[in-house]
Structure 1
Amino acid sequence: MVKAAVIGAGLGGLSAAIMLRSAGFEVTVIEKNFHAGGKLMPVSLGDYHFDFGPNTITMPHVFSSVFEKAGVVMEDVLEFIKLPHHTKNFSPDGTELVFSHDSDYMKKQLKEQDPFGAENYDKFLKEIERLYRLSEAHFFPKMFKGPLDYLSPRLGAAFSQVRPLETMDHFFRRYFKSPNVLQALNRYATYIGSSPYVSPATFAMIAYLELVQGVYYVKGGNVKIAEALQRAASDMGVSFLMGSEVVSIQVKEKRAESLTLDSGEVIKADEFIMNADLLKAFPELVQEDDRPHFSDQKRDRYEPSISAFVILAGMNNISKKLHHHNVFFSSNYQREFHDLFKNGVYSTQPTIYISSSSYTDRQQSVNGDNLFILVNAPPLKKDGRLQVNPEEYKELIYDRLEAAGLPIREHLSVEKVITPQEIAAKFGAYRGALYGISANRKLDAFLRPGNFSRDIKNLSFAGGSTHPGGGSPMVTISGMNVAKALIKRHQ
């Protein structure tokens, strides 16, 4: 029986483990934390329950296909709730635009706020669907094992059709004129940890997922996805070593032979899958001499994605102002991204995202709103230094929300601040980056590190820092892609 060791129980590691086990592999998953799901982590503060990780869930069919491999009907173990009107966007001038998968509802709002956008909305939806379908057919399932894979004529033809040289901001301006509408759409760049003024228009396909396919929430919290996948994997016979950290991988003659845990235990395997932040884990676990194509110097050339400054706030009231997802925009969005990426500093006028899952699922917070408050943050300095005083920046965020008509302090029952330093330590995230590598550079956007080590024949990679990129569905797909390749290798 082929033995596989999976480093990390994130969604990529879980999907790979299930796929491999369904093909008869003996699979062991090693996870340094005591929860599965990586950043999809549950946090409880008294009676207030939060999802730390992705609060916005799309593409449920991706998760369903993994459960199917485990012999589980997803709908039997998880309740996906489709949010009809999912994101309330608050502009600096007080204008409110609510995103929805209902195109008539969207056009009704646009007629008042952006008549040009209302006229072009159907064309816009058609184009972002085209971008999505091309990506779904040619990029999501593609495996990149070496440089020659990028030279495929078929891939090149598809690449030329997805607007790789146009920025997201420029693309959206083809269809909309209102600064408020453009600002709301440009936020989709943050889903890949990047700037809309630099990242390729290709990623406008994210808008298709939310504005056509729809946004979902899992009853009981989105963390239930990871918990259910871990149960399904365990029931299949996958072994989990939770609370165990891999400290090194032993390589001999260009093959990984074993890995060593912090306990001193040594685990041997035929295949090794690294479902961890590639920029941090690969250099830490493998000696530089064994990875000449991924030297420390090469790692340092990559631009990390944005990080996050997070406040978990349990409130003693239920706000009538908020939806499930909410965004309070800054007055100068372009300056905000310039501060984050060019200057590497925190914005003094940040855009603030708030998720209140209790809006949809009151059991998550019976005494009032459970506010997950997130502000985009620059990655940590290379020395690991945080660029702000956490208490001072928290108060600045509260001041901004109060000015926008959302008083936090007077209704606050409990709170917890999570900084990029904690994200780096808890999740092994390089410089605290949420999405691994940013998509601000054209080559990094499309030519992300491949799924297989060029130097170590039986080491592969899954997760947000490799292909096809960040986001819950994408990292799940990356694990499935790697598993399919390994199954084929051992047939």
Structure 2
Amino acid sequence: MSSENVAVVGAGFAGMAAAALLARDGYDVTVLEKNDRPGGRAMVYETEGYTFDMGPSWYMMLEAFERFFAEFGKTPDDFYETVRLDPSYRVFFGDGDVVDVHADLDQNMALFNELEPGGAKKLQRFLDQSKYQYEVAIDDFIYREYESFRDILDLQLIVEGTKLRIFQSLDRFVRRFFSSVKARKLIEYSIAFVGGAPHISPAMYALLAHCDLNLGIWYPRGGYGSVMQAVYQLAEQQGATFRFDTDVQRVRVDGGVATGVTTSQDDIDADIVLNTVDYWHGEMNMLPERYRTYKQRY
């Protein structure tokens, strides 16, 4: 347990999830959000009886959500219902061709056979590699505890890291398997979710194909807003306090240590400041220049 108070900047998924975990562990948590509601990029817009997700809409990697809610002895089913989509999605190519990507892998194998000779076997080989990369990422990186810099330099971690092909582009990696432009586009499409492009993004993102074609695309009933509301509700249940319409303008720093924040309304002292806003904005607009990691040119 801790008596320290924490100012969390931003009520998006990162801020709300962190607030829930910190409040559970006994911290006095206040979440500061510039908008009038929670959600961040996952906010919901409602008008004339219609509800629109303003950000994410694909529900993938169910394991991540299950692990998070399990931290509180709960499951996603305690808050919302999910259904697997079939078809997962429809793709419109520039030449007018339209194809459906299905929940059933055999149907997708048939699709890839239509796109190029031996497409099904190539897809299976690629998905085997994609699944392997996913398991390495999950088991050896994402859920690993990093308590010191030495943990990052762990020899096994370095060896496993090379298997994620971080020094090869996704496009180059995909070309080893597929010759058809359309097949490559289908495989590389998921990179859009991390804001990248295949020719400059590392091949480790090939793991997204496993999430897409093996684990599937799901839909939370009520849209992503139901997921967002679940995390918000959980954070409040743990004791986190939310202040909306509160724009954090600056992180106050004294001697290299964050001491609080300045908002559009007041100054707030804090033992810990957790900034979950866009990284560029957090660095360039909220930190004193001497404490920024990068310069604007970077």
What TM-score, normalized by structure 2, do the two folds share?
A: 0.91
SS of equivalent to 2:118: helix
Matches within 5 A, 1:475-486: none
Partner residue, 1:123: 125
Partner residue, 2:136: 134
Which of 78, 81, 96 aligns to 1:79? It is 81
161 and 24 in structure 1: CA distance in 2 versus 1, 3 angstrom threshold: same
**In the aligned structure 2, how far is the partner of 1:277 from the partner of 1:168?**
25
Q: Confirm or deny: 8 A CA contact 2:89 2:100 kept in the other structure.
A: yes
Which of 199, 205, 208 aligns to 1:206? It is 208
Partner residue, 1:288: 289
151 and 235 in structure 1: CA distance in 2 versus 1, 3 angstrom threshold: closer
Cα distance, 1:98 vs. partner?
1.8
Tell whether 2:252 aligns with 1:250.
yes
Partner residue, 1:269: 270
What TM-score, normalized by structure 1, do the two folds share?
A: 0.57
Cα distance, 1:176 vs. partner?
2.2
Matches within 5 A, 1:396-407: none
Partner residue, 2:231: 229
Q: Confirm or deny: 8 A CA contact 1:88 1:98 kept in the other structure.
A: yes
Q: Confirm or deny: 8 A CA contact 2:251 2:258 kept in the other structure.
A: yes
Matches within 5 A, 1:57-456: 57-142=59-144, 150-264=152-266, 266-289=267-290, 291=291, 294-295=293-294, 297=295, 299-301=296-298
Cα distance, 1:78 vs. partner?
0.5
Give the AA of the match of 2:283.
F
Root-mean-square deviation (Å): 2.1
**In the aligned structure 1, how far is the partner of 2:132 from the partner of 2:162?**
13
Q: Confirm or deny: 8 A CA contact 2:20 2:236 kept in the other structure.
A: no
181 and 32 in structure 1: CA distance in 2 versus 1, 3 angstrom threshold: same
Cα distance, 1:71 vs. partner?
4.4
Question: Which of 1 and 2 has higher RCO (CA within 8 Å, sep 6+)?
Answer: 2
Cα distance, 1:126 vs. partner?
0.8
Percent sequence identity over matched residues?
27
**In the aligned structure 1, how far is the partner of 2:274 from the partner of 2:226?**
24
Tell whether 2:30 aligns with 1:28.
yes
For structure 1, which runs of at least 5 residues remain unmatched after alignment?
302-491
Matched residues, number: 296
Q: Confirm or deny: 8 A CA contact 2:30 2:243 kept in the other structure.
A: yes
Which of 36, 39, 49 aligns to 1:37? It is 39
**In the aligned structure 2, how far is the partner of 1:101 from the partner of 1:163?**
27
Cα distance, 1:147 vs. partner?
7.1
SS of equivalent to 1:300: coil
Cα distance, 1:250 vs. partner?
1.8
Q: Deviations over 1:387-409 (max 9, x none)?
A: xxxxxxxxxxxxxxxxxxxxxxx
**In the aligned structure 2, how far is the partner of 1:13 from the partner of 1:55?**
19
Q: Confirm or deny: 8 A CA contact 1:249 1:285 kept in the other structure.
A: yes
**In the aligned structure 2, how far is the partner of 1:141 from the partner of 1:74?**
19
Cα distance, 1:283 vs. partner?
2.7
Give the AA of the match of 1:195.
A
Give the AA of the match of 1:285.
M
44 and 164 in structure 1: CA distance in 2 versus 1, 3 angstrom threshold: same
**In the aligned structure 2, how far is the partner of 1:300 from the partner of 1:46?**
44
Q: Confirm or deny: 8 A CA contact 1:116 1:175 kept in the other structure.
A: no
Cα distance, 1:133 vs. partner?
0.9
Q: Confirm or deny: 8 A CA contact 1:18 1:69 kept in the other structure.
A: no
Q: Confirm or deny: 8 A CA contact 1:3 1:269 kept in the other structure.
A: yes
**In the aligned structure 1, how far is the partner of 2:70 from the partner of 2:149?**
33
Q: Deviations over 1:103-134 (max 9, x none)?
A: 11111222222232112222121110011111
Give the AA of the match of 1:129.
K
Give the AA of the match of 1:300.
R
SS of equivalent to 2:258: strand
Cα distance, 1:74 vs. partner?
2.1
